[in-house]
């Protein structure tokens, strides 16, 4: 019951947050120097066009009027038209959001699996060369820029060995494929970018998990459980694991948020049509409605992700009393 | 725990197996359906010529919506020439002020409706309508006004379904250029409210009549153009499909070119062009000079007194207000070395403000200011700049010769060149700091003349239209970034506007270049070639001054000799 | 320190000193004469002050201190050996060994950061001849010539401390270094009467040159201070912000917790590029701004992790016990929660440090970071993306060095955490 209340409470609290986010971004984006119209101008375009464009975009009204207009249309569910794409913002978002969710989801799965494997192995062989190597390796890998890792993977698996395709989501004519062939095609294109995105996250989670497991293993109840004669596997599953996933879940919450708002560098490198690139291009072209749209979308996903993380954490650890 | 590991392994194995089957993309159609793939950097902004800003979008729209006339650029004479396209013939009337176009009688839109003179008329109405806010509004500037007002319906007159008359204000060499814009479908667009045209879905699924039609557009991924079997303007494209893949990462575009996945890549860097010529036998390099140049802009006027002033109240810039100082700056920079290091054969030193493409106007005998730091220092000293406090930086009346160079972010070569210039200026005791500014911010602030100095680049139009860059009316011409004002230049610009043929103005333009050289309002750096790499299996390309996709309906694929890539890494 | 290492380190110092003695002497002279002038309350130095002087002074102080310390260590070790002759030292434990190595790396890097003006054998910002020295692979050769400065302002009271000060500064700040592919190129590139060079010799570009014909090795050394400074600053900034918010949120129940966590969500939702462009546009570009930007975009992760842990621990017995004993909230936080959170916090901070340096690289990638010609590992890595296939040396070496530094930092941090954990008051589970 408290879980339900917790979730409802969180949702209620998040609504003003999203509202505040939208307002903040609305004003901040207009405060940024440069305006969307200046990018349309070049020698040969008469300056009068700028005025016409501004009035078409609704930018010549006083700021408060623009804000109120935005408020009322957002509440009605109309998120406006993107300047650069000339299409409704929600349509544009819908074109890119599934791709990001796909990439983010795949990366997340990879991260959890790999982090768990690595941490468990490290703990199993604590103090051995594997443990130390893992420790060093995760840090090295985390400190490498992701474009680097991506380019390494590209060079190795795409250019040298042509195992995986080097860019985009589909092969040429891929959208015409149906059924299993289409799924396999997308998966092939997904492999490298998902791996690239997953690697820093894996490093982070593996480290937190390993630290956490090591800490938990020192606890008295674990010692007691072993002393009672329970098998290692049982001790690990029932005593150590639930108590050590705490910090990892918190990190996971952030990680989900990051992944779902799109990872610009990887998307650019692999030409993956995702939200990261969309948001950055919107900022560079001062496409105000799209900036707000992307931010609100991202905000919503982050709230959902953190809610999930907190709820899972509370479920695992009954000692945490939900507020 | 061991079992967990074992469970994961088969999954990884399966994924690897799946991967092994991949075929080279783009090769599927090679044998029986001629398909050419182009890799481009950014997405298309619009399939409506009214609104498309991006260069590639413009080229695509030219293929979808042909114009009345087709243009070519004659390299030897340096002039634009025109041939029939939608208009099968035309003649002049009323002492050259009117042009009567006879349209092809059987041209049809992809939805079956015939292409008529009404389409031409409505197109120009839309280009010129402020409510539409098209960036090509200038297209109607030269049309005749009735009682001082522009009524496009009168100036672009429909005589009958296949005859349209353009009434210009005066006979000028630019008439066919103005009449050469892409033509839009009246029956689709006239019903739509003008101010909402930009956001109307008609821009994303256009009704067209050109040799290609838009088969598919997947945002941020690809654009697929298909041959339009009904087209008579001039004929259905020889290729069955032309695919543009959006790949933002330069290195990936390059490797896809080398592996044969894509056939055409533009914007190749000079050092990579050298590599490709050496290693990739199947790739041909086409280097087009003379359209883009970079320059160091010196704000001739004081930024505080700039913005909205007329020439009466403008104050010269404290550092760059004098032409002597500007000439000294140019002579302190070793442009030859920059070209040799960063461009090689694909660029040349720029000066004078007119592209070498325009052979009739280019000042063949004038040479750029030489690299001569000694002369530069003495010129600066003549202007009163000395290092009186021994801090290594020139000063005059307490003002140090120190300024910030703003560079729009995102262009690697410009950053590198700026750093090189910084060092060269330090040798003449000028202190320059570099600040990279994000593009949108940069262009807004530089057109407001807020900066002291900047490094930017322009693309020259194929018509000799230089008013926007050099006209003295600073408010009317925000792209006169330097705030350059010269009465003689103004009269030259006015004089060439009323000439019968462009090449009549050769002498005037020569004088223009001499004035620019003397006044040195900015330091022209170099002309940068546009380097395009094309796989040799693609034939019939006319890649050059008019763009990559120019006359792309002539492209075809050499199916007799399958040219296999032979890249040695 | 053991004797071999002292000797090794000492020899390196001696070699560099011999090579760079002019710089070192000039720095020391400049510092000493300035002190003399200030203390003697002579004529004010006014407009001749230059911020770069401080770098040289700092480098000089650190250099002298290090030399003295080395000498002292050497003497001490000698004495100890003569005292403890025969007693065998036990093999140090693996932990201690790792710790020692890491401490050495950190110490070494700090030393490099502080004395970089002396260690960069070729000036990091000087560009060689673009045509011949651009993008040379590692171990290529070139030619260097160094010319004196113009001579400083003329002063009526010539002689004495003031003259020494001016001459030293003139050498430090105004000397000109010219690089080229061969000796013969240089005279053509000088712009004015340079006089004869102070020194001229062939150089080896240890790690190659970049696209502006600058020595990569020198730039890496010069970039150490910038990048580490930014990384540390941003990590600490993020830590302070994140820990404060995390603790505040975790310890309170109800409204404040909710508000702070929603604030965290808010900041996570705003695209960081947005914050970057906005802050940079308003405050201008400088190292401080970049640190602020990176801190502000990085504290959220730490805050959430800290809050999560605090929430888990706050209902534990030892905390309840402390509350009953009327220990203040601050006391609970510092003496009970912090030690238990320490490992997690250290992990988070070290990761944030890595994040910050990489963030600086992304900023460099976008052109919004440290501006040229200043070197930083971040902007070197950012520039390198265009050259990865060809001139790999431009970006690989900063990355390697960064990885090494992070490894060392983490090892020190982790082993400190281990020790810290043993010393802190344990959670109440250790009854008795």
ipTM of predicted assembly, 2 dp: 0.81
Mean per-residue pLDDT, C277-296: 84
C257 — pLDDT class (breaks 50, 70, 90): confident
- Tell me, yes or no, if A302 comes closer than 8 A to chain C by beta carbon: yes
Inspect the interface and report whether the beta carbons of C277 and B271 lie closer than 8 Å.
no
Q: Taking a C-beta distance cutoff of 8 angstroms, is the pair C220, C207 a contact?
A: yes
Mean per-residue pLDDT, B530-538: 93
pLDDT at C420: 39
Residues of chain C with CATH 1.10.3720.10: 216-419
Mean per-residue pLDDT, C29-49: 70
Task: Please state, in angstroms and rounded to a whole number, the distance separating the CA atoms of residues C118 and C56.
Answer: 8
Inspect the interface and report whether the beta carbons of B332 and C191 lie closer than 8 Å.
yes
pLDDT greater at residue A80 or residue C409:
A80
**What residues of chain B lie within 8 A of the CB of A40, using their CB?**
53, 135
Probe site for chain C from A11, A143, A280 (most C CB atoms < 10 A): A143
Tell me whether residue B524 is in a domain: yes
Query: Per-residue pLDDT tens for A113-138?
Result: 998 888 888 877 777 777 777 777 77
- Tell me, yes or no, if A28 comes closer than 8 A to chain C by beta carbon: yes
Query: Per-residue pLDDT tens for A45-85?
Result: 877 888 888 888 888 888 888 899 898 888 888 888 888 88
Mean per-residue pLDDT, C144-173: 72
CA distance A302 to chain C (A): 7
CATH number at residue B108: 3.90.76.10
pLDDT at A320: 62
B26 — pLDDT class (breaks 50, 70, 90): very low
What's the token pair of residue B20? 């092994």
Tell me whether residue B31 is in a domain: no
pLDDT at B25: 39
State the burial class of residue B167 (Cβ atoms within 10 Å of its Cβ: 0-12, 13-18, 19+): middle
Q: Of the ranges A124-133, B457-466, C117-126, C136-145, which one carries the lowest mean pLDDT score? A: A124-133
Q: Taking a C-beta distance cutoff of 8 angstroms, is the pair A91, A83 a contact?
A: no
Query: Per-residue pLDDT tens for A8-36?
Result: 888 888 888 888 889 989 988 888 888 88
Q: Which of B177-191, C10-24, C45-59, C194-208 has the highest mean pLDDT?
A: B177-191
On average, the pLDDT of chain B sits at: 86
By C-alpha distance, the chain B residue nearest C383 is B412
Write out residues 257-276 of A within 8 Å (CB-CB) of C.
Answer: 257-258, 261, 264-265
pLDDT at B347: 93
Inspect the interface and report whether the beta carbons of C277 and A20 lie closer than 8 Å.
no
Mean per-residue pLDDT, B85-107: 92
| Per-residue pLDDT at A292 exceeds 70 | yes
Quick check: bond before B234 cis, omega within 30? yes
Probe site for chain C from A247, A264, A311 (most C CB atoms < 10 A): A247
- Tell me, yes or no, if B250 comes closer than 8 A to chain C by beta carbon: yes
- Tell me, yes or no, if B277 comes closer than 8 A to chain A by beta carbon: no
| Per-residue pLDDT at B555 exceeds 90 | yes
Q: Of the ranges B64-68, B482-486, C118-122, which one carries the lowest mean pLDDT score? A: C118-122
Task: Please state, in angstroms and rounded to a whole number, the distance separating the CA atoms of residues B149 and B160.
Answer: 24
**What residues of chain A lie within 8 A of the CB of C407, using their CB?**
136, 139-140
Please provide the CATH number assigned to the domain covering C216-419: 1.10.3720.10
pLDDT greater at residue C189 or residue B523:
B523
Beta bridge partners of C177: C146
Inspect the interface and report whether the beta carbons of C343 and A215 lie closer than 8 Å.
yes
Q: Taking a C-beta distance cutoff of 8 angstroms, is the pair B272, B47 a contact?
A: no
Mean per-residue pLDDT, C66-94: 74
Tell me the residue range of the domain where B78 lies.
Answer: 66-206
Task: Please state, in angstroms and rounded to a whole number, the distance separating the CA atoms of residues A36 and C32.
Answer: 56
Mean per-residue pLDDT, A149-170: 72
Given strand B163-167, what is the order of strands in its sheet?
Answer: B87-93, B98-103, B163-167, B156-160
- Tell me, yes or no, if B433 comes closer than 8 A to chain C by beta carbon: yes
Nearest to A184 among B18, B136, B195 (CB): B18
Inspect the interface and report whether the beta carbons of B390 and C191 lie closer than 8 Å.
no
pLDDT greater at residue B441 or residue B85:
B85
Beta bridge partners of B453: B298, B405
Inspect the interface and report whether the beta carbons of C266 and A24 lie closer than 8 Å.
yes
Q: Which of B565-569, C149-153, C341-345, C427-431 has the highest mean pLDDT?
A: C341-345
Inspect the interface and report whether the beta carbons of A139 and C407 lie closer than 8 Å.
yes
What's the token pair of residue A147? 């474009």
Q: How many domains are there within chain B?
A: 2
Inspect the interface and report whether the beta carbons of C366 and B250 lie closer than 8 Å.
no
> Around Cβ B409, how many Cβ atoms within 10 Å?
20
Residues 6 or more apart in contact with residue B381 via CB below 8 angstroms: none
Task: Please state, in angstroms and rounded to a whole number, the distance separating the CA atoms of residues B6 and A293.
Answer: 44
| Per-residue pLDDT at B417 exceeds 50 | yes
Probe site for chain A from C94, C259, C281, C308 (most A CB atoms < 10 A): C308
Q: Taking a C-beta distance cutoff of 8 angstroms, is the pair B49, B63 a contact?
A: no
Inspect the interface and report whether the beta carbons of B416 and C211 lie closer than 8 Å.
yes
Task: Please state, in angstroms and rounded to a whole number, the distance separating the CA atoms of residues B452 and B475.
Answer: 18
For B265, the 3-state DSSP assignment is strand
Cα B316 to its chain centre, rounded Å, is 31
Q: Taking a C-beta distance cutoff of 8 angstroms, is the pair B457, B292 a contact?
A: yes
Chains near B with 3+ CB pairs less than 8 A apart are A, C
pLDDT greater at residue B353 or residue C419:
B353
**What residues of chain A lie within 8 A of the CB of C399, using their CB?**
143-145, 148
Q: How far is the CA of A133 from the CAs of A279, C93, C98, in angstroms?
A: 38, 18, 13
A300 — pLDDT class (breaks 50, 70, 90): confident
Quick check: bond before B17 cis, omega within 30? no
- Final residue before a domain boundary, out of B166, B185, B206: B206
Q: Of the ranges A241-250, C14-23, C89-98, C370-379, which one carries the lowest mean pLDDT score? A: C89-98
By C-alpha distance, the chain B residue nearest A170 is B221
C159 — pLDDT class (breaks 50, 70, 90): low
Same domain, B305 and B448: yes
| Per-residue pLDDT at C430 exceeds 70 | no
Task: Please state, in angstroms and rounded to a whole number, the distance separating the CA atoms of residues B44 and B476.
Answer: 30
Task: Please state, in angstroms and rounded to a whole number, the distance separating the CA atoms of residues C379 and C393.
Answer: 14
B507 — pLDDT class (breaks 50, 70, 90): very high
| Per-residue pLDDT at B6 exceeds 80 | no
Inspect the interface and report whether the beta carbons of B435 and C371 lie closer than 8 Å.
yes
pLDDT at C413: 64
Residues 6 or more apart in contact with residue C178 via CB below 8 angstroms: C126, C144, C145, C146, C147, C186, C189, C190
Nearest to B46 among A86, A167, A271 (CB): A86
Probe site for chain A from C265, C337, C407 (most A CB atoms < 10 A): C265
Q: How far is the CA of C378 from the CAs of A142, B402, B405, C348, C402, in angstroms?
A: 15, 27, 22, 20, 10
Tell me whether residue B271 is in a domain: no
Size of interface A-C (CB pairs under 8 A): 151
Task: Please state, in angstroms and rounded to a whole number, the distance separating the CA atoms of residues C170 and C22.
Answer: 12
pLDDT greater at residue C278 or residue B403:
B403
pTM (two decimals): 0.86
Query: Per-residue pLDDT tens for B200-234?
Result: 888 888 999 999 999 989 888 889 999 999 999 89
Write out residues 269-288 of C within 8 Å (CB-CB) of A.
Answer: 269-271, 273-274, 277-278, 281
By C-alpha distance, the chain C residue nearest B398 is C47
Pinpoint the alpha helices (H) of B65-131: 117-128
Q: What are phi and psi of B264, to 5 degrees?
A: -135, 130
Task: Please state, in angstroms and rounded to a whole number, the distance separating the CA atoms of residues C133 and C181.
Answer: 5
Cα-Cα end-to-end distance for chain B: 44
Task: Please state, in angstroms and rounded to a whole number, the distance separating the CA atoms of residues A275 and A100.
Answer: 6
Task: Please state, in angstroms and rounded to a whole number, the distance separating the CA atoms of residues C143 and A116.
Answer: 54
Report the b/e string of C401-419 with b at 16+ CB within 10 A.
bbbebbbbbbbbbbbebee
C48 DSSP assignment: G
pLDDT greater at residue A322 or residue C199:
C199
Nearest to C312 among A132, A258, A320 (CB): A320
Task: Please state, in angstroms and rounded to a whole number, the distance separating the CA atoms of residues C413 and B243.
Answer: 54
pLDDT at B123: 94
Inspect the interface and report whether the beta carbons of A145 and C406 lie closer than 8 Å.
no
Task: Please state, in angstroms and rounded to a whole number, the distance separating the CA atoms of residues C181 and C129.
Answer: 7
Query: Per-residue pLDDT tens for C42-57?
Result: 555 554 566 778 888 8
Write out residues 329-358 of C within 8 Å (CB-CB) of A.
Answer: 343-344, 347, 350-351, 354, 357-358
C423 — pLDDT class (breaks 50, 70, 90): very low
- Tell me, yes or no, if A22 comes closer than 8 A to chain C by beta carbon: no
Inspect the interface and report whether the beta carbons of A38 and B248 lie closer than 8 Å.
no
| Per-residue pLDDT at B18 exceeds 50 | no
Comparing CA positions, the residue from B167, B145, B165, B148 lying closest to residue B97 is B167
Q: What are phi and psi of A57, to 5 degrees?
A: -80, -5
CA distance A156 to chain C (A): 12
Q: How far is the CA of B500 from the CAs of A270, A301, B170, B503, in angstroms?
A: 53, 64, 10, 9
- Tell me, yes or no, if A150 comes closer than 8 A to chain C by beta carbon: no
Q: How far is the CA of A164 from the CAs of A181, A267, B386, in angstroms?
A: 15, 16, 63
Probe site for chain A from B3, B5, B18, B27 (most A CB atoms < 10 A): B18
| Per-residue pLDDT at C343 exceeds 70 | yes
- Tell me, yes or no, if B441 comes closer than 8 A to chain C by beta carbon: yes
- Final residue before a domain boundary, out of B187, B206, B225: B206
- Maximum Cα–Cα distance across chain B: 93
| Per-residue pLDDT at C138 exceeds 80 | yes
- Tell me, yes or no, if A29 comes closer than 8 A to chain C by beta carbon: yes
pLDDT at C103: 78
pLDDT at A187: 85
Residues constituting chain A: 323
Inspect the interface and report whether the beta carbons of B252 and A34 lie closer than 8 Å.
no
Nearest to A323 among C253, C262, C361 (CB): C253
Task: Please state, in angstroms and rounded to a whole number, the distance separating the CA atoms of residues C30 and C53.
Answer: 8
pLDDT at B120: 94
| Per-residue pLDDT at A177 exceeds 90 | no
Chains near C with 3+ CB pairs less than 8 A apart are A, B
Task: Please state, in angstroms and rounded to a whole number, the distance separating the CA atoms of residues A107 and A267.
Answer: 13
pLDDT at C217: 92
pLDDT greater at residue C91 or residue A302:
A302
Residues 6 or more apart in contact with residue B255 via CB below 8 angstroms: A159, A166
Task: Please state, in angstroms and rounded to a whole number, the distance separating the CA atoms of residues B171 and B95.
Answer: 7
Could you give the dihedral angle defined by the CA atoms of residues A131, A135, A138 and A144, in that order, rounded to the nearest 10 degrees? -140
Same domain, B173 and B305: no
B564 — pLDDT class (breaks 50, 70, 90): very low
Tell me the percentage of chain B whose pLDDT exceeds 90: 54
Query: Per-residue pLDDT tens for B334-344?
Result: 999 999 999 99
State the burial class of residue C227 (Cβ atoms within 10 Å of its Cβ: 0-12, 13-18, 19+): buried
Same domain, B333 and B470: yes
- Final residue before a domain boundary, out of B171, B189, B206: B206
């Amino acid at each position: 019951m408290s879980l339900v209340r917790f979730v409802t409470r969180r949702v209620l609290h998040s609504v003003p947050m999203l509202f505040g986010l939208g307002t903040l971004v609305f004003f901040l984006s207009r405060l940024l120097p440069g305006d969307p119209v200046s990018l349309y101008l070049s020698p040969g375009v008469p300056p009068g066009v700028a005025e016409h464009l501004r009035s078409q975009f609704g930018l010549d009204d006083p700021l408060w009027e623009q804000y109120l207009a935005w408020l009322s249309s957002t509440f009605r569910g109309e998120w406006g038209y993107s300047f650069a794409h000339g299409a409704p913002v929600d349509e544009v978002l819908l074109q890119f959001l599934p791709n990001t969710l796909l990439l983010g989801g795949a990366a997340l799965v990879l991260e959890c699996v790999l982090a768990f494997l690595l941490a468990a192995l490290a703990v199993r062989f604590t103090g051995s060369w594997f443990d130390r190597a893992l420790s060093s390796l995760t840090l090295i890998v985390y400190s490498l820029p992701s474009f680097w890792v991506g380019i390494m993977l590209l060079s190795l698996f795409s250019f040298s060995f042509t195992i995986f395709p080097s860019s985009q989501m589909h092969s040429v004519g891929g959208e015409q494929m149906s059924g299993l062939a289409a799924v396999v095609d997308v998966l092939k294109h997904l492999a490298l970018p998902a791996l690239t995105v997953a690697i820093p996250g894996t490093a982070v989670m593996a480290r937190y998990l390993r630290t956490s497991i090591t800490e938990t293993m020192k606890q008295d109840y674990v010692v007691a459980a072993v002393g009672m004669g329970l098998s290692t596997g049982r001790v690990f599953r029932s005593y150590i694991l639930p108590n050590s996933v705490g910090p990892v879940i918190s990190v996971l919450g952030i990680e989900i948020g990051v992944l779902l708002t799109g990872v610009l560098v990887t998307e650019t490198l692999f030409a993956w049509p995702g939200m990261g690139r969309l948001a950055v291009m919107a900022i560079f072209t001062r496409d105000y409605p799209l900036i707000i749209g992307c931010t609100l979308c991202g905000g919503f996903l982050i709230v959902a992700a953190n809610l999930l993380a907190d709820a899972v954490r509370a479920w695992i650890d009954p000692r945490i009393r939900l507020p | 725990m061991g079992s967990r590991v074992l469970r994961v392994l088969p999954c990884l194995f399966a994924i690897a197996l799946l991967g092994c089957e991949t075929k080279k993309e783009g090769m599927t159609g090679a044998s029986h359906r001629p398909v050419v793939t182009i890799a481009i950097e950014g997405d298309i902004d619009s399939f409506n010529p009214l609104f498309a800003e991006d260069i590639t979008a413009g080229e695509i729209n030219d293929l979808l919506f042909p114009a009345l006339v087709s243009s070519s650029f004659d390299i030897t004479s340096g002039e634009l020439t025109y041939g029939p396209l939608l208009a099968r013939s035309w003649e002049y009337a009323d002492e050259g002020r009117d042009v009567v176009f006879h349209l092809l009688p059987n041209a049809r839109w992809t939805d079956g409706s015939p292409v008529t003179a009404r389409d031409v008329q409505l197109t120009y109405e839309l280009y010129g309508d402020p409510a539409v806010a098209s960036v090509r509004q200038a297209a109607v500037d030269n049309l005749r006004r009735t009682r001082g007002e522009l009524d496009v319906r009168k100036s672009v007159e429909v005589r009958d379904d296949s005859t349209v008359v353009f009434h210009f204000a005066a006979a000028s060499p630019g008439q066919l250029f103005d009449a050469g814009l892409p033509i839009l479908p009246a029956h689709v667009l006239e019903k739509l409210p003008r101010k909402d045209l930009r956001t109307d879905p008609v821009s994303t699924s256009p009704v067209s009549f050109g040799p290609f039609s838009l088969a598919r557009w997947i945002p941020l991924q690809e654009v697929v153009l298909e041959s339009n079997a009904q087209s008579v303007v001039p004929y259905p494209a020889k290729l069955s499909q032309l695919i543009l893949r959006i790949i933002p990462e330069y290195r990936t575009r390059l490797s896809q070119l080398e592996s044969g996945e894509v056939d055409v890549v533009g914007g190749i860097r000079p050092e990579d062009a050298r590599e490709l010529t050496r290693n990739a036998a199947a790739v041909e390099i086409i280097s087009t000079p003379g359209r883009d140049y970079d320059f160091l802009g010196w704000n001739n006027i004081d930024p505080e007194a700039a913005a909205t002033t007329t020439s009466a109240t403008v104050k010269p810039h404290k550092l760059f207000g004098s032409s002597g100082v500007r000439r000294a700056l140019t002579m302190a920079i070793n442009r030859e070395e920059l070209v040799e290091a960063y461009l090689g054969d694909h660029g040349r030193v720029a000066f004078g403000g007119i592209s070498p493409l325009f052979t009739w106007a280019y000042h063949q005998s004038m040479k750029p200011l030489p690299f001569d730091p000694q002369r530069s220092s003495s010129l600066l000293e003549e202007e009163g700049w000395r290092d009186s406090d021994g801090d290594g930086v020139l000063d005059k009346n307490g003002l140090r010769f120190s300024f910030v160079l703003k560079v729009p972010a995102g262009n690697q070569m410009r950053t590198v060149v700026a750093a090189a210039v910084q060092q060269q200026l330090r040798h003449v005791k000028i202190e320059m700091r570099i600040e990279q500014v994000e593009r949108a911010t940069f262009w807004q602030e530089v057109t407001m003349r807020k900066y002291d100095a900047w490094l930017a680049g322009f693309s020259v139009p194929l018509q000799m239209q230089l008013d926007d860059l050099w006209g003295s009316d600073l408010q009317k011409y925000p792209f006169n970034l330097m705030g350059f004002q010269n009465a003689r230049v103004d009269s030259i610009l006015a004089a060439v506007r009323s000439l019968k043929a462009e090449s009549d103005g050769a002498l005037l333009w020569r004088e223009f270049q001499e004035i620019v050289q003397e006044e040195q309002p900015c330091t022209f750096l170099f002309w940068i070639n546009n380097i395009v790499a094309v796989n040799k299996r693609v034939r019939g390309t006319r890649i050059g001054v008019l763009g990559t996709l120019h006359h792309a309906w002539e492209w075809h694929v050499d199916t007799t000799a399958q040219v296999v890539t032979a890249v040695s890494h | 320190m053991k004797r071999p290492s002292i000797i090794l380190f000492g020899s390196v110092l001696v070699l560099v000193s011999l090579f760079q003695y002019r710089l070192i002497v000039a720095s020391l002279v400049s510092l000493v004469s300035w002190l003399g002038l200030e203390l003697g309350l002579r004529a004010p130095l006014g407009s001749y002050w230059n911020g770069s002087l401080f770098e040289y002074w700092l480098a000089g102080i650190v250099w002298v201190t290090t030399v003295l310390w080395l000498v002292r260590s050497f003497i001490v070790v000698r004495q100890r050996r003569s005292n403890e002759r025969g007693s065998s030292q036990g093999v140090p434990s693996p932990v201690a060994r790792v710790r020692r190595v890491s401490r050495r790396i950190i110490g070494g890097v700090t030393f490099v950061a502080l004395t970089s003006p002396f260690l960069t054998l070729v000036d990091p910002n000087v560009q060689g001849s673009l045509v011949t020295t651009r993008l040379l692979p590692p171990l290529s050769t070139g030619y260097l010539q160094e010319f004196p400065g113009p001579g400083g302002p003329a002063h009526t009271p010539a002689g004495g401390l003031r003259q020494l000060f001016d001459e030293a500064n003139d050498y430090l700040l105004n000397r000109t270094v010219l690089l080229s592919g061969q000796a013969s190129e240089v005279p053509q590139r000088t712009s004015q009467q340079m006089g004869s060079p102070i020194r001229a010799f062939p150089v080896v570009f240890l790690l190659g040159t970049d696209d502006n014909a600058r020595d990569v090795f020198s730039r890496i050394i010069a970039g150490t201070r910038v990048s580490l400074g930014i990384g540390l600053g941003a990590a600490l900034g993020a830590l302070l912000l994140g820990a404060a918010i995390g603790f505040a949120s975790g310890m309170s129940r109800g409204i404040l917790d909710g508000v702070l966590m929603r604030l965290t969500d808010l900041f996570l939702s705003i695209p960081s590029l947005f914050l970057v462009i906005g802050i940079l546009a308003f405050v201008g570009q400088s190292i401080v701004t970049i640190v602020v930007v990176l801190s502000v975009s990085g504290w959220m992760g730490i805050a959430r992790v800290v809050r999560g842990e605090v929430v888990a621990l706050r209902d534990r017995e030892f905390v309840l016990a402390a509350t009953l004993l009327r220990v203040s909230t601050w006391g609970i936080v510092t003496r009970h929660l912090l030690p238990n959170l320490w490992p997690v916090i250290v992990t988070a901070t070290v990761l944030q440090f890595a994040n910050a340096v990489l963030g600086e690289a992304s900023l460099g990638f976008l052109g919004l970071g440290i501006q040229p010609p200043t070197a930083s590992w971040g902007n070197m890595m950012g520039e390198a993306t265009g050259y990865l296939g060809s001139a790999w040396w431009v970006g690989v070496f900063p990355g390697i060095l960064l990885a090494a530094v992070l490894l060392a930092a983490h090892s020190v941090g982790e082993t400190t955490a281990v020790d810290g954990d043993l010393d802190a008051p344990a959670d109440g589970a250790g009854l008795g």
